[in-house]
Amino acid sequence: MAVDWAPPPDDLDRQRIEQRINDLREEHRALDGAIQAFQEQAPYDQLGLMRLKRRKLALRDQIRACENMLTPDIIA
């Protein structure tokens, strides 16, 4: 069974990962506003709304993946 292990990031890598997390969070918040505005339109496109929500979920997954890179795995 393969283990997804990577060495802890050095300071430069850590800064890049943290910046990436901040960028992803900013885009995630922007999608909140876009989804809200989209839903307030009288007849809105259901498919378009689903695409926005799917993108938001993908961003959440990317944020978690980046956060996992910053926290070491502790085997108890």
SS (H, E, C) the chain: CCCCCCCCCCHHHHHHHHHHHHHHHHHHHHHHHHHHHHHHCCCCCHHHHHHHHHHHHHHHHHHHHHHHHHCCCCCC
Question: What was the pLDDT predicted at 24?
Answer: 97
Domain residue ranges in the chain: 11-69
Q: d(Cα 4, Cα 24) in Å, to the nearest integer?
A: 23
pTM of the model: 0.75
Tens-of-pLDDT digits for all 76 residues of the chain?
455 556 666 788 889 999 999 999 999 999 999 999 888 887 878 898 999 999 999 999 999 999 998 887 776 5
Question: What was the pLDDT predicted at 76?
Answer: 59
